[in-house]
Structure 1
């Protein structure tokens, strides 16, 4: 490990922690009662972190606030409906010179230094948004998905793709936690490999039901932040994660009912994922605790990292469900995570 990498690793942890504090503030209104964040002057100083593979922890040279989320990564995604306006601002800039925002290569007029207000067009589709520094270098790429409005679902279908009915309002107790999608991302053969965050692509979140293209998916940005934060924290704790598998991401209500899952599954609301670490590519949870076995104890390792993150004030905005599942003959162990806004825990051997 070179001195340069040690410095880089330490800077990444500091800048990431700052970004999460901003995320907490920005998301507070969406996740329940406000949480007061106080500086902990008595917190012990940690030794500098040494990360053997700093390239596994990609961060941008600044943070970008997009509406209610703050993004610290060099690639991320924005999900909007036609005609939706998004306010953007560079936070913690590394340069005194202003940044430039471009969409599909065209500059967006700023509303202040490092601030922009971008209006999505009236047609669904994809766009490439870039934040460029004074030297003309791209510091962050945002893949923009303008969704097909939910109003276009007819008879439970969207362009012959089965969506199915969402629960009616009179069935829902916590209406603020179970908000029906405002639109769906159209997934094609051409855009399915688009990155939605540094380590995940759009196609990984598609419902597992059989269908031709186009397919449609509903996905929320906080889930992507939580996945990237979990992956990052595991690597920082010397739990090697080269490949984290999304076993199940979004599920249409139609598919969710077909597999006999609970009616109010978070998967149908686009903020849940069933995941496991699979560095060797055998589609089974790896031996994370190094005991020579592949069992629920490996899922407990992942859950333990989530529980540690939950204790941090900068993670409160991403609180949600955590389920631990043991292996079955047809699959390995895994964990479920979501960002429902309240803590929920369960364990199924």
Structure 2
């Protein structure tokens, strides 16, 4: 009798535990069940002598200019390259040149390794030339005026053109884990909208996202609280004149996965979502400061606490020189 009673109690406890676990199982997101994929390029491709690190990459070009692509270790017939419905001619040495059309817009190029169908995508945006800005506006969209280059630095020169964005193009992946629309200026205005986006910023964000996942923080992207800012908008919010945001080389980011509530997650797992989580993200970004042969990824990292308008976040940019602020 005693053994039967113990057995019943044990089975009841096990059933209760199984019921409890079943209640929590649906709370596991798909992100937690799958491993993060950094989506690195499966073969070596250079565009204008710069390597493509990922399976999905972005470049911009002015109308009529040429994009030069080189596939390393190419053998005749090993790869094929296409843009839309057009097959591009690939030389025996793995070279192909693509000349941008006059019409600004989105012109994707796909490079496929024929034997296994592995591919690298190059999202090319032909720019709307900056000389079409009239009285601070481009097709009715407020751009404002760019300041003189800070200390004459090349990275602070006014842009030569802008990406023209339609509602459909907002959804285009410009790197494996980021869409074009994530970097749009927050100012009011209809379509088309205009944008600057430095490919080096995307590469740095991808590296940071990979590092975050390596730390056990499961996220498939960052929330880009602020990406590109037109000089018009940048002035309206009272930011510094030469902000890296107006050159498309900066992003204010945080992680918002569980729960999705437009606020930084508890990524350091101390039971509270606050500035300490932004400090945790800041520390990971700070360790990416030394890029060795990737000088184009050098830049700033800033820490910001919550206020009445937003939660804590981290600023990341690719200004070309190291800069740090906000961290004690």
TM-score bin (small chain): 0.7 to 0.9
Whole-angstrom distance in 2 between the partners of 1:175 and 1:75:
30
Q: Is the CA contact (8 Å cut-off) linking 1:147 and 1:183 kept in structure 2?
A: yes
Partner of 2:247: 269
Runs (5+) with no aligned partner, structure 1: 1-50
Q: Is the CA contact (8 Å cut-off) linking 2:209 and 2:222 kept in structure 1?
A: yes
Whole-angstrom distance in 1 between the partners of 2:273 and 2:132:
45
Q: 1:141 aligns with which of 113, 118, 121?
A: 121
Q: CA RMSD in A?
A: 2.1
Whole-angstrom distance in 2 between the partners of 1:119 and 1:262:
37
Q: 2:193 aligns with which of 190, 215, 218?
A: 215
Q: Give the match's secondary structure for 1:177.
A: helix
Off by >6 Å, runs of 4+ in structure 1: none
Whole-angstrom distance in 2 between the partners of 1:145 and 1:312:
27
Q: Give the match's secondary structure for 2:151.
A: coil
Partner of 1:25: none
- Distance of aligned partners of 1:223 and 1:68 in 2 relative to their CA distance in 1, 3 Å threshold: farther
Whole-angstrom distance in 2 between the partners of 1:53 and 1:92:
33
Q: Is the CA contact (8 Å cut-off) linking 1:187 and 1:215 kept in structure 2?
A: yes
Choose between structure 1 and 2 for higher RCO, CA contacts under 8 A separated by at least 6 residues: 1
Q: Give the match's secondary structure for 1:110.
A: coil
Partner of 2:276: 297
Partner of 1:6: none
Partner of 1:23: none
- Per-residue CA deviations over 1:17-52 (Å, capped at 9, x if unaligned) read xxxxxxxxxxxxxxxxxxxxxxxxxxxxxxxxxx98
- Distance of aligned partners of 1:74 and 1:341 in 2 relative to their CA distance in 1, 3 Å threshold: same
How many residues are treated as equivalent by the alignment? Answer: 296
1:1-349 equivalence runs, <5 A: 53-91=34-72, 98-135=78-115, 137=117, 139-169=119-149, 172-280=150-258, 281-347=260-326
- 1:56 deviation in Å? 2.6
Whole-angstrom distance in 2 between the partners of 1:135 and 1:174:
49
Q: Is the CA contact (8 Å cut-off) linking 2:209 and 2:221 kept in structure 1?
A: no
- 1:347 deviation in Å? 0.2
Q: Give the match's secondary structure for 1:240.
A: coil
Q: Is the CA contact (8 Å cut-off) linking 1:243 and 1:279 kept in structure 2?
A: no
Q: Is the CA contact (8 Å cut-off) linking 1:59 and 1:74 kept in structure 2?
A: yes
Q: What TM-score, normalized to structure 1? A: 0.79
Q: What TM-score, normalized to structure 2? A: 0.84
- Distance of aligned partners of 1:209 and 1:107 in 2 relative to their CA distance in 1, 3 Å threshold: same
Whole-angstrom distance in 1 between the partners of 2:92 and 2:67:
15
Runs (5+) with no aligned partner, structure 2: 1-31
Q: Is the CA contact (8 Å cut-off) linking 1:69 and 1:221 kept in structure 2?
A: no
Q: Which structure: larger Rg?
A: 2
Q: Is the CA contact (8 Å cut-off) linking 1:76 and 1:143 kept in structure 2?
A: yes
- 1:330 deviation in Å? 2.5
- Per-residue CA deviations over 1:298-344 (Å, capped at 9, x if unaligned) read 11111211222223524443110110111123311111011010111
Q: Is the CA contact (8 Å cut-off) linking 1:150 and 1:182 kept in structure 2?
A: yes
- 1:96 deviation in Å? 8.4
